[in-house]
Amino acid sequence: MIVRRPRHLIPALALLAAALALMIFAATRSHRVFEPEADEFGMQIFTRVSERRLVEDATFSGTVRLGERLVTTYDRSAPPGRAACPT
């Protein structure tokens, strides 16, 4: 007896695999978010931020793009916990 598979099963599985691969890639990716001003030696200070955290920050105006760089709009050196309102 031959078992037939629906013709949409293989493309659906391929699409599911691609979606999972993109989610894993996004979970491991990080971005550099710079401070608005340079330090006393003229060097730009940046913090590595995960993709998930960047989405949250950008949604609530905590990170903006200025030219080619992502720039924070609030103090990232504050202790972890509840972040201060950036507005």
Q: What are phi and psi of 78, to 5 degrees?
A: -65, 150
Instruction: State the pLDDT at residue 80.
Output: 61
Residue type, 5: R
pLDDT at position 38 over 90 = no
Instruction: State the pLDDT at residue 3.
Output: 59
Q: Which residue has the higher pLDDT, 86 or 52?
A: 52
pTM of the model: 0.58
pLDDT at position 87 over 80 = no
Instruction: State the pLDDT at residue 18.
Output: 97
Instruction: State the pLDDT at residue 19.
Output: 97
Residue type, 41: F
* Sign of the torsion formed by the C-alpha atoms of 11, 17, 23 and 28: negative
